[in-house]
Chains A and B, each alone.
Chain A
Amino acid sequence: DAGVIQSPRHEVTEMGQEVTLRCKPISGHDYLFWYRQTMMRGLELLIYFNNNVPIDDSGMPEDRFSAKMPNASFSTLKIQPSEPRDSAVYFCASSAQDRVYGYTFGSGTRLTVV
C-alpha cells in the first residue's frame, strides 16, 4: 500500500480564496482524521470520520472550515474564505477499527495564506 496520500504538498493562496486539501486513506481503514499543526498550538484534531460519517467535528475552528468524505477512499478539507491565520501544516491520518498498527499519517499539506 502507498500509505496515506495527501495533495497538494504545498499550497500558497491569497487571503479570501477557497482552498481544498485532499486525502486518500489506506485501503481498508475505516477511520480518517484531519489534524492541523502549528508552532503555537501543536497538533490539533479537527475532525474525524468512521465509515465515511463525521463523528466528531468539535475541533473545526469555525464555519469557514468544512470536511467531507464522499467515499471510503477520498476526503477533502475545505477552507472558504481562507485567512492568514489558517497557515499551517494539515495532516490526514487513517486507522483500522482494531488500531493494531496505530494511526498512519500522510506527509501533510503545508498551507500558506498571504
Chain B
Amino acid sequence: GDSVTQMEGPVTLSEEAFLTINCTYTATGYPSLFWYVQYPGEGLQLLLKATKADDKGSNKGFEATYRKETTSFHLEKGSVQVSDSAVYFCAEAVGNKLTFGGGTRVLVKP
C-alpha cells in the first residue's frame, strides 16, 4: 500500500539554525501532500500543503516543495525558534484517505 517515509528524530537544533526534515511518498499519480505539526498534548494542526507538482506550500516561515521527480516533499525553515519544538508529520492524500509518516520530533534549544 501507499506509504510515507520521513527522517527519524529526534532532531535537536539551536535557535536560529536551519531545519530540514526529509519526506518521501510512494503514491502514484498526483497525491496531495501535507505537513502537520503536533505540539505536546494537542492534536495535529495543518502547517502547509501542496496539491500539484512544483507547488510550494508555505506557512509561519516553513516551506516545502512538491517534487514529482523525486517523490519528495521536504520541510525547511531558515531560522527556527524554541516555539517550533514539536513533532512534524508528513502526509499524502490519495482520494480522501490520508496516510501519515512516522513523525519527526524537533527540539530547539535556546
B-contacting residues of A (Cβ < 8 Å)? 4, 31, 33, 42-43, 45, 48, 50, 55-56, 91, 93, 95, 99, 101-108
Contact = CB atoms under 8 A, between A and B. Distances in A.
Contact of A48 (B42, B44, B49, B96): B96
Q: Tell me what chain A mostly uses at the interface: helix, strand, loop, or mixed.
A: strand
Given A91-B43, A102-B46, A106-B43, A48 B102 contact: no
16 contacts: A31-B96, A33-B98, A42-B100, A42-B103, A43-B89, A45-B97, A45-B99, A50-B96, A55-B96, A91-B43, A91-B44, A93-B44, A99-B32, A99-B93, A102-B46, A107-B42
Q: Tell me what chain B mostly uses at the interface: helix, strand, loop, or mixed.
A: strand
B14 interface: no
Q: Which 5 A-B pairs have the closest CB atoms?
A: A105-B43, A102-B46, A43-B100, A105-B44, A107-B43
Contacts, number: 44
Interface of B: 32, 34, 36, 42-46, 49, 89, 93, 96-103
Contact of A42 (B36, B43, B46, B102): B102
B103 A43 contact: yes
Contacts of B34: 102-103
A55 B98 CA distance: 13
A4 B34 CA distance: 19
A104 B46 CA distance: 7
B89 A99 contact: no
Contacts of B49: 102
Contacts of B93: 99, 103
